[in-house]
Structure 1
Amino acid sequence: MNKSISSTTGTIKYRLKDIHAKGQTSIILDYSFGRNKRIKFATGYKVSPKNWDKTHQRIRAIATINNREKVNSDLLKFSAEFLDAVTGLNEEEKQSRQILKSILINIIRGGDDTKKAFTSFFEFADDYIERREKQSKTISSVKLSIITVRSYKQTINRLKEFNKKVNYNLDFDSIDLKFYYAFVKFLEDTNYSINTIGKHIKNLTTILNKATEEGVNTNLKYKNSEFKVLSEESISIYLTEAEIDSLYKVDLSKTKDWELARDIFLIGYYTGQRVSDYNGIKMEQIKSFNGRGVIEFKQQKTNKLIYVPLHSRIKEIMNKRYNGFPPPKLNAPDINEFIKEAGRKAEIEEPIIIKKKVKGEIITETVPKFSLIQSHTARRSFCTNAYLSKMPTIDIMSISGHSTEREFYKYIKVTPQERAVKIADSAFFSN
């Protein structure tokens, strides 16, 4: 067998599903066609990685493998018949995943299983994420953020953990309301928040919709109204200008980790960006326009190009502790841990009453404000304080990257009293 089987329509390669498997793993037909399009189809055969010839894409000549010749012969037959069938399609049909998969089903499964998914749920999900991840690097028109790809991967990892722990034998056919409630309970028992659980359900639904659209999945039980995305109002705080001042002025020189986290957090506050953008800015991002310093951001989540005026306190932080350079990058979980300690040292201790759902029960408790500070608090604090300072909303949005005023007003944390004070300063109430 050649390294690949090519034609003017595409290229077929055979590979193993898991090259590091300890036992046997599936032999996958991998068909590449069009512009960055791929189909992966399980051939129904398995082999141990040590018995697979990657170069020639066939099972090695091992005496203990009785059906080696049949498997190798079938692999050649599958690819030859498939390419022959594709050659007879028109150009539009050659780009249709559903048509191509139907051909593979007929060839490999004898045409008796046309309603069955071409592969397992996890194989499809991994393939879908891999495709979207490559698109996010190569095709600007369908660019998917690194953050979103990471979120999909987290969802699949949680599903694999669930499948392993409860031995659910998860596949397209078993995704129904029974699965839904079992998976939600698993996540609740693992102490995930309601909103995190909702995120995983949303991601799962997105993948199932794509599988259905591509003709891979025919089980529509996930469209039941009870198969819903759970959510609750998140516990989101913002730091007032006075609290930001306290955080800026507190001496953390004896705890360098806390100091670094505080400095990175303040850069987030004075730029209004997400932690994925403000953590680890480079010197080349700092530019000068008409004699004014600005920081250039290419937002990872939205792909928007944003310019933010360089605040004097950012310059002071850079000059005082980092030889004129931005502070080095710190792992996001460490920022979340250390910024709470910095907030405690800065005596940001206003009592906050929180309610949360734990294993189906509502729990109410009072916690000091510093314990709720996290990396995202910087961005929310900027938006809220900028709004209260009477900065025009459109200017705040040009920095934060919010697309609509409705989205922006949902995001900021302004109490009715604070809004009333702001309104009182308007021309109408000043007469």
Structure 2
Amino acid sequence: MATVHFLYRSVRSKAKLEVRLQHTHKTDDKATNYIWTAKAQIEVTKDFWSKQRKIKSKGNVDISNEQTRVNNLCNALDNFIIDCFHTTTPEAITKDWLQTEINNYYNPQIKNPIEVIPNNLIEYIDYYIKYKENYPSVVLIRKINVLKKKLERFQINRNAPILIKNVNKRFKLEFSDYCEREKYSRITIQRDFAEVKTICLDARSKGIETSLELDKLSFPREKATNIFLTFDEIKEIENIDKDKLTESLENAKDWLIISCFTAQRISDFMRFTKEMIRIENGKSLIEFTQKKTGKIMTLPLHPKVIEILARRNGDFPYAISDQKYNDYIKVVCELAEITQTVIGSKKIEVENDDENEPKIYRKVTKEYRKCDLVSSHIGRRSFASNFYGTIPTAYLIYVTGHSTEVMFRQYLGKSNKDLALELTNYF
């Protein structure tokens, strides 16, 4: 009988799991136990593997999603190895055999070169997710699948399959018109089409025919309305009368301030624990792995964060779900009287012509109270906006984790004209 186990055998904070195949080979006069090990492509954090993979998530969506992802990957590889074992003689099994079979699992096109790659865009999306060079995060998979469902509805509407080779200027106009009729914002249409183009370019790299127009297809980039909290507004949040705050609101308030001075996504800062903190040369640093990018980050803790930890006996606030956090911080900002009217985008229910169909929600850009536009991302944007121009951009990019300065400037909504005007301040 053969069994497969997965082990975390690295000193790093994030690593790929080791696979251990154990089996007993019986002959007429004796039984011999064999153990072979090899590397899988299942990457997890040490903290998750040692502390979170078997616990009940208690409503923590991030932990639950990670448990599902890792369990699915491990079970699939486990079944594959056992199937290979049963089609092989025990004498042929070695460490090299195990590693080769695992490599074949992750690269089936090498083992089966006649595999047919879909040329239909919707079908190719599943192939794209399965064979993407760097396995996409749970968040990215969710976004791509949302796009896939939108394309499925579009395909039904146009009553014709969407072939990758036909993603051209005409397709772009058709897709744009359809999305506008469905009341999607221009920014959403632009983002979705950019993802479609990325998927088609990946298909081209696999030998699938694409349109000659593909490379030049794009939508004019619309400037997003970037909402952030100024230093004065953060101060107002700090100074909210404690009698107005419940324990839950106080907890969310502290997380909001922490996010404004660490610039991290909610998927990262909501996992912060005091065990991640270390002291070097008298400075407090926190080390963690970004969930979206897989980057190992080491950040200095801002005095505002250290002040919150000191008030909480060295502990971070307790973790809550994304939805509760988004709800609570809107109330917190309202209590801080951050209620001025600003232009922004908010997902609201729009009119549905068919009363029997589910409600439709779309992002609508208009004037709202600023506190109603606050969401989990505002801390990250507030850090980048508040410190831009006072801290060297290279340091800001390191903290936010953007790959290039161009991406960072796009994130802030800074055009070349904005940079030129800001440069005059230094002349």
- Structure 2 residue 384 is matched with structure 1 residue 380: no
1:201 aligns with one of 188, 193, 203:
193
The 5 A counterparts of 1:310-321 are 310-318=301-309, 320=311
Partner of 2:122: 122
How many residue pairs match? The answer is: 308
CA distance in 2, matches of 1:417, 1:155: 33
2:136 is aligned with 1:154: no
Residues 174 and 404 of structure 1, relative CA distance in 2, 3 Å threshold = closer
The 1:168/1:279 distance shift into structure 2, 3 A limit, reads farther
Match of 2:71 in 1: none
The answer as to 2:329 corresponding to 1:339 is yes
Aligned pairs for 1:66-215 within 5 A:
103=114, 118=118, 120-132=120-132, 135-136=133-134, 144-164=136-156, 167-172=159-164, 175-215=167-207
Out of 239, 247, 259, which is 2:229 matched to?
239
What whole-Å deviation, never above 9, does each CA across 1:36-59 have from its counterpart, x for those lacking one?
A: 8xxxxxxxxxxxxxxxxx99xxxx
Residues 342-421 of structure 1 aligned to structure 2 (within 5 Å): 342-353=332-343, 365-387=366-388, 390-412=390-412
* Structure 1 gap segments, 5+ residues each: 1-34, 37-53, 56-94, 106-116, 138-143
Alignment identity in percent?
29
Alignment of 1:289-300 (within 5 A): 289-300=280-291
Counterpart contact for 1:237–1:413, Cα < 8 Å: no
- Contact 1:384 1:413 (C-alpha < 8 Å) held by counterparts: no
Contact 2:289 2:295 in 1 (8 A): yes
Label 1:187 to 1:340 Cα distance change in 2 as closer, same or farther (>3 A).
Answer: farther
Q: Is the 8 A contact 1:265 1:339 kept in 2?
A: yes
3-state SS of the aligned residue for 2:261?
helix
Per the alignment, do residues 256 and 402 of structure 1 end up closer, same or farther by CA in structure 2, a change over 3 Å counting? same
Displacement of 1:301: 3.9
Q: 1:190 to 1:258 in 2, by over 3 A?
A: farther
For 1:154, the aligned partner's letter is V
Alpha-carbon shift at residue 243 of structure 1 (Å)? 0.3
State the alpha-carbon separation in 2 of the partners of residues 275 and 397 from structure 1.
Answer: 18
Between 259-268 and 232-241, the greater mean CA deviation after superposition: 259-268
Assess, with a 3 A threshold, how the Cα gap between structure 1 residues 326 and 162 changes in structure 2: closer, same or farther. Answer: farther
Determine if contact 1:354/1:366 at 8 Å carries over to the other structure.
yes
| Equivalent residues of 2:227, 2:344 under 8 A apart | no
Unpaired segments ≥5 residues, structure 2: 1-39, 42-78, 81-106, 352-363
CA distance 1:230–1:100, change in 2 (3 Å): farther
Tell me the residue number matched to 2:239: 249
Superposed CA RMSD in Å reads: 4.2
The 2-side partners of 1:302 and 1:391 are apart by: 23
- Note the C-alpha offset of 1:236: 0.1
- Shift of residue 219, structure 1, vs aligned partner: 4.6
Return closer, same or farther for 1:257/1:118 CA change in 2, 3 Å cut-off.
same
Render the CA deviation track for 1:343-398: whole Å, top value 9, x for unaligned: 12111133324599x99xxx98433322332222212211222235x333333333
Q: Is the 8 A contact 1:269 1:381 kept in 2?
A: yes
Other-structure match for 1:286: 277
Looking at structure 1, the residues matched to 399 and 296 of structure 2 have their Cα atoms a distance apart, in angstroms, of 10
TM-score with structure 1 length normalisation? 0.58
CA shift in 2, pair 1:294/1:229, >3 Å: same
CA distance in 2, matches of 1:185, 1:195: 14
- Cα deviation 1:100-121 (Å, max 9, x = unaligned): 66x467xxxxxxxxxxx65643
Q: CA deviation at 1:179?
A: 4.0
Task: Measure, in 2, the Cα distance between the counterparts of 1:187 and 1:412.
Answer: 26
- Further displaced range: 394-403 or 233-242: 394-403
* Superposition TM-score, scaled by structure 2 size: 0.59
Decide whether the 8 Å contact of 1:275 with 1:376 is kept in 2. Answer: yes
Structure whose CA Rg is larger: 1
